Structure 1
Amino acid sequence: MNAFIKKNHRTLFYAAWLLIGLLQAGLTPLQDDEAYYWTFSRFLDWGYFDHPPMTALLIKIGYALFPNELGVRLMVVLLNTATVAICEALTERKAPFLFYALCGVLAVLQLSGFMAVPDLPLLFFTALFFYVYRHFVKDASPRNIVFLALVTAALMYSKYHAVLIVFFTLISNPKLFTRWQTYAAGIIALVLFLPHLWWQYGHDWISFRYHLFESNVNPYKFNYTTDYILGQLLITGPLAGFILLPALFIYKPKSINERALKFTGIGVLAFFLLSTFKGKVEANWTAPMVVPILVLCHQHLQQRTKARRWIGRLVLPTLILVAIIRFVMVVDVVPARVVQERFHYYHGWPKELSQRTGSLPLAIPSSYQKASQYWFYTGKPTYSVNEYIWRRNNHNFWPLEDSLLGKPVAVIDGAQPWTDSLQTPMGTIHWSVDSAFHSFSKIMIRPGQSTYEIAAGAPLNITARADVPLHYAAYLQQHPDVDAPVKIGLFKEGKLVHDLPLQLSVQGLVKSPQQSFQLPLSVPPGTYFLRFAIGSDAGWFTHNSDKINVEVKP
């Protein structure tokens, strides 16, 4: 038996890794974000509000083979297994059982390795990038130039954080800037990435504006930094983080490729540490540093007998902990809201509600999570009507609202009277049937400027123009009785201060797109922003402008 294991250990390890991932993928209910990315695949495109399109493409491929949870995650599970294999190749397979032990204590590779989220293709292409880069620095042949360009483009199509990997690799080896091959690879990668940039241009650079200026912009809190540090220790463990994370800093690289790995691992950690001073940072944003951790810790621990023994001792406790968490993901046995909300809230009730509402599509207020989960588990197109007090997402751009305009729709938790209600794990859901649904988030009101300055107590004068899509304009002209109100929300630090009602309706915007407003802002000096909003039948007001910054001077 021992001889068989010694001879076939690598095959056994990867077969077990893949099989466990496939079982977990098929048995675990979709998380909210996974269901959302599944809806991406219903509208395959070169870009999305939140992310580049790689995850949508992978889901599209897998779901075409298996139209269920396994199909959504199939390609990700395969990529996760390939990621581990490439990382082992980057270590030159010097100590395979140490490598297996490191995979065993890195719980994040096991517990997230089956989830259809952008971090997983990013992780795969990060590992592949360093594998190709190793060959490129040894031989910058035309073949390796093209391979490096292809992988770099795939990185960028996975998640925008990929730019950090490229940046830290470049600064780890300044000689790259003196080689024409580097620029050739960069130009080819840029050409391959142009379709996404063209999509961004056509959508007013919405993803870049959101991630750079709207998302994760909050007043600093000390716990943003402490939570981030603790989160990184847990990600690189959870039990072995105190060994693995310091090893990344201690290890002295022995090659150009290892130097790039170290620069990237530490650089990504430092970048997001600094980002905590701007707002809350999610622990998973540092996912690319798992590759440097796995590779460099393997190299470091070969010469550290005591630390290596500790890793060996922590494998079994970590695997037991992982096994318990895997079970809890599949079976609803833990009465903890955080677990139930993430994995078990969508058992049963979507299908029951679908039976009650018949063939009607569904509209849900400001919840791409509920909308996506309901759509996945019932097969019915479901529209998240994003209210002006929350953030936008892809439901603001897909042709869902357009297709529902003036048609019968089942509306969840809209204005009373309600037709019926349903008890769910999330609480009571009320719904009613809107015989002619009206929502107008595709109408955009654009002011003459994006920033205004006024003195405290002075009115704010704004001139704006409404862009009304032809489909909406034609419908409103044919239905003059449909006359939703328009208002402006005043916000400070992301929270609504109060509404500013306007003597204006959606019919007025169609008849006279150019409008001027004098707004009395009775607020203390400070930084605010405004947002136009148009009402809907259900009583919700949607996003109908970008942020309009206002500085109120003393």
Structure 2
Amino acid sequence: MNPTLNRNHRLIFYSAWLLIGLLQAALTPLQDDEAYYWTFSRFLDWGYFDHPPMTALLIKLGYGLFQNELGVRLLIVLLSTGTVYLCELLTERRNPFLFYTICGVLAVLQLSGFMAVPDLPLLFFTALFFYVYRKFVNNASLLNTVLLALVTAALLYSKYHAVLIIFFTLISNFKLFTRWQTYAAGLLALALFVPHLWWQYQHDWISFRYHLFESNVNPYKISYTTDYILGQLLITGPLAGFILLPILFRYTTKNLTEKAMKFTGIGVLVFFFLSTFKGRVEANWTAPMVVPILVLSHQHLLDHEKQKRWIRNLVVPTLLLVLLIRVVMIVDIVPADVVRGRFHNYHQWPAQLREKTKGLPVALSSSYQKASQYWFYSGVPTLSVNQYTSRRSNYNFWPLEDSMLGKPAVLFVDQQQAQDSITTPDGMLYYATDSSFNSFGKVRFETEEKKYKIAFEQSMICKVKAYFPPQYAQYLQQHPKVDAAVKVGVFDGRNLLFDIPLTQSLRQWLQQPEHSVMLPLNLPKGKYFLRFAVASEAGWFTHNSSKIDVVVE
């Protein structure tokens, strides 16, 4: 072996990892989800509808240095490099070149290591959690107790999946429950997490209600399960997944830290496998298992020469595949929507449209990703008006809709409503200018009960109260000609069955906020839910209530 390489292999490996990540971060257009998290950083807070605030904070810090794609991703790339380094530190017996080889066949580490999404801080703090946990179980000193609490809180602030890591670590070592330091670390971590819990309380526990009861609830399809299994093989490869994934189950752990990692890796896999019977599971939701896979695979392969040779043989094909995908991310050469739609559709034309529309703010219907991408590449505040048939997002809570109320705005509309158009990689985009934009997404309707039981094919009567934020009430009072229709959508699962227009208009609700409403449902037996919606001048009906459950008996 080259003496220089032998002496400096770590410096070379980690420098290359960091440099490649920075280049990829600088040259790749912002992905749609990344643009959404960038908008988080415009409204830094203790919580968001979708996720805790760690990703937003990291983006805010990096974007403060560089106002471009590199700035959005800068700290993520640094954390990605740190994740790999911490994983190497977690290996008890070390063969660094074997470790680098495993990193080479784990394409997900390379291809996602520059993306500003919550999985990356979660991965970093997962690795750091196990590193500090190893110190804690060997010496439960005050310092290690505090460090464990800090890292646990950072995990929770990264992504809610942190709960799984904490849970499976605890059940991997029941002796933890006999140590007062465990409770001290838990209480301190909880205290540090209180600001986020307070934010949730102020917003009616919106994130927890969405993730636990509203998101991803669909009738079962066998493809949910088969796609999940295939996705996990691809995430742990894609070529080496059939070797690395089984190691997680086969490896015999040598210490409590390895045991915690094994419990976590298998536990996360099983948890989301069972979740496929509830609805579709995204492949990246199991991201925390990448740390156990990387560390435990290294430990296992040290003593299994045949599998080690297989891994070595797969490095070059994997790296070539990764190189190809890196190029496709940077350069718009593949017409597939899955690539173009996520990376390339918004790179150039938003600046052109900004010039044509003189920098007016933009509103579009039910696409937080498109709104975020347009905002990032145009520099123009953009609102996603989330309609009642789609899910809510942070655009329902940020002070955007109310700041645009009654002011000129550009609307992305269909061809029949358009005044002009612009050519984009996704086809023609039609738009119109509204001299006095309005949308009433922050007006709320609440029923006396959250759940109703009615008889078969009967109508439903409920008492309803409308709540108008002061700015909306003032706008309607100052514009007596403005009014809007109100209706109730009736849903079976995620599907809209029909609408029931209400006789009271929005202005009538303002004048008299409480009404007794009769809804002629006439539904067969089953479970349904209702949602109030208010029209805008563009014809978009917004989310104006929580789900109101109805059981027909």
TM-score when scaled to structure 2? 0.99
Q: Identify which range, 347-356 or 319-328, moves more after superposition.
A: 347-356
User: What's 1:310 paired with?
Assistant: 310
Same amino acid, percent of matched pairs? 69
1:207-259 CA distance string (max 9 Å, x none)? 00000000011111111011000000000000000100000100010001010
Residue 518 of structure 1 aligns with an amino acid whose one-letter code is: M
Give the whole-Å Cα distance in 1 for the aligned partners of 2:424 and 2:496: 30
Matched-pair contact (CA < 8 Å) for 1:414–1:538: no
Matched-pair contact (CA < 8 Å) for 1:415–1:539: no
User: What's 2:495 paired with?
Assistant: 495
1:183-215 CA distance string (max 9 Å, x none)? 000000000000000000000100000000000
Give the whole-Å Cα distance in 1 for the aligned partners of 2:504 and 2:69: 47
Matched-pair contact (CA < 8 Å) for 2:415–2:430: no
Alignment of 1:79-478 (within 5 A): 79-92=79-92, 94-413=94-413, 416-478=416-478
Give the whole-Å Cα distance in 2 for the aligned partners of 1:338 and 1:139: 49
Give the whole-Å Cα distance in 1 for the aligned partners of 2:493 and 2:36: 27
Matched-pair contact (CA < 8 Å) for 2:22–2:77: yes
Deviation at 1:454, TM superposition (A): 1.1
Matched-pair contact (CA < 8 Å) for 2:132–2:148: yes
Deviation at 1:415, TM superposition (A): 8.9
Deviation at 1:335, TM superposition (A): 2.0
**Structure 1 pair 93/379, CA: closer, same or farther in 2 (3 Å)?**
farther
Deviation at 1:359, TM superposition (A): 2.4
Matched-pair contact (CA < 8 Å) for 2:458–2:523: no
User: What's 1:16 paired with?
Assistant: 16
Secondary structure of 2:446 counterpart: strand
1:93-135 CA distance string (max 9 Å, x none)? 6110000000000000000000000000000000000000000
Residue 420 of structure 2 aligns with an amino acid whose one-letter code is: D
Matched-pair contact (CA < 8 Å) for 2:388–2:543: yes
Matched-pair contact (CA < 8 Å) for 1:365–1:386: yes
Matched-pair contact (CA < 8 Å) for 2:225–2:276: yes
Q: Identify which range, 489-498 or 393-402, moves more after superposition.
A: 489-498
Matched-pair contact (CA < 8 Å) for 1:447–1:464: yes
Matched-pair contact (CA < 8 Å) for 1:248–1:266: yes
1:114-170 CA distance string (max 9 Å, x none)? 000000000000000000000000111110010000000000000000000000000
**Structure 1 pair 460/415, CA: closer, same or farther in 2 (3 Å)?**
farther
Give the whole-Å Cα distance in 2 for the aligned partners of 1:55 and 1:93: 33
Give the whole-Å Cα distance in 2 for the aligned partners of 1:8 and 1:415: 61
Deviation at 1:522, TM superposition (A): 2.6
Matched-pair contact (CA < 8 Å) for 1:414–1:539: no
User: What's 2:486 paired with?
Assistant: 486
Give the whole-Å Cα distance in 1 for the aligned partners of 2:179 and 2:28: 48
Residue 135 of structure 1 aligns with an amino acid whose one-letter code is: K
Give the whole-Å Cα distance in 2 for the aligned partners of 1:371 and 1:262: 40
Give the whole-Å Cα distance in 1 for the aligned partners of 2:147 and 2:282: 31
Give the whole-Å Cα distance in 2 for the aligned partners of 1:347 and 1:172: 47
Residue 310 of structure 1 aligns with an amino acid whose one-letter code is: W
Matched-pair contact (CA < 8 Å) for 1:123–1:291: yes
1:63-86 CA distance string (max 9 Å, x none)? 000100000000000000000000
Secondary structure of 1:213 counterpart: helix
Give the whole-Å Cα distance in 2 for the aligned partners of 1:316 and 1:348: 35
Matched-pair contact (CA < 8 Å) for 1:415–1:538: no
Q: Structure 2, unaligned stretches of length 5 or more?
A: none
Matched-pair contact (CA < 8 Å) for 1:30–1:69: yes
How many residue pairs align between the two structures? Answer: 553
1:410-457 CA distance string (max 9 Å, x none)? 111169542211121222211111111110110110111111111122
1:352-380 CA distance string (max 9 Å, x none)? 21111112100011111111001000111
Give the whole-Å Cα distance in 1 for the aligned partners of 2:24 and 2:492: 44
TM-score when scaled to structure 1? 0.99
Give the whole-Å Cα distance in 2 for the aligned partners of 1:426 and 1:523: 41
Deviation at 1:274, TM superposition (A): 0.5
User: What's 2:521 paired with?
Assistant: 521
Give the whole-Å Cα distance in 2 for the aligned partners of 1:24 and 1:296: 28
Q: Structure 1, unaligned stretches of length 5 or more?
A: none
1:316-346 CA distance string (max 9 Å, x none)? 1000000000001101111222211121111
Q: Identify which range, 181-190 or 334-343, moves more after superposition.
A: 334-343
1:17-59 CA distance string (max 9 Å, x none)? 0000000000000110000000000000000000000000000
Residue 253 of structure 1 aligns with an amino acid whose one-letter code is: T
Secondary structure of 2:63 counterpart: helix
Deviation at 1:347, TM superposition (A): 2.7
Secondary structure of 2:242 counterpart: helix
Give the whole-Å Cα distance in 2 for the aligned partners of 1:120 and 1:135: 23
Matched-pair contact (CA < 8 Å) for 2:346–2:373: yes
Give the whole-Å Cα distance in 2 for the aligned partners of 1:514 and 1:174: 54
Q: Identify which range, 113-122 or 339-348, moves more after superposition.
A: 339-348
**Structure 1 pair 82/93, CA: closer, same or farther in 2 (3 Å)?**
farther
Matched-pair contact (CA < 8 Å) for 2:93–2:299: no
Give the whole-Å Cα distance in 1 for the aligned partners of 2:465 and 2:447: 6
User: What's 2:531 paired with?
Assistant: 531
Secondary structure of 2:533 counterpart: strand
Secondary structure of 1:322 counterpart: helix
What is the RMSD of the two structures over their aligned residues, measured on CA atoms?
Answer: 1.0
Residue 266 of structure 1 aligns with an amino acid whose one-letter code is: I
Secondary structure of 1:358 counterpart: coil
Matched-pair contact (CA < 8 Å) for 1:414–1:540: no
Question: Residue 41 in 1 paired to residue 35 in 2?
Answer: no
Matched-pair contact (CA < 8 Å) for 1:169–1:264: yes
Q: Identify which range, 87-96 or 188-197, moves more after superposition.
A: 87-96
1:460-509 CA distance string (max 9 Å, x none)? 11111111111111221122211111000111120111110110111111
Give the whole-Å Cα distance in 2 for the aligned partners of 1:464 and 1:427: 43
Deviation at 1:521, TM superposition (A): 1.0
Matched-pair contact (CA < 8 Å) for 1:414–1:432: no
Residue 256 of structure 2 aligns with an amino acid whose one-letter code is: I
Secondary structure of 1:504 counterpart: coil
Give the whole-Å Cα distance in 1 for the aligned partners of 2:106 and 2:358: 46
Matched-pair contact (CA < 8 Å) for 2:301–2:307: yes
Matched-pair contact (CA < 8 Å) for 2:487–2:501: yes
Secondary structure of 2:253 counterpart: coil
User: What's 1:66 paired with?
Assistant: 66
Deviation at 1:349, TM superposition (A): 1.6
Give the whole-Å Cα distance in 1 for the aligned partners of 2:102 and 2:239: 11
Residue 549 of structure 2 aligns with an amino acid whose one-letter code is: N
Give the whole-Å Cα distance in 1 for the aligned partners of 2:44 and 2:542: 25
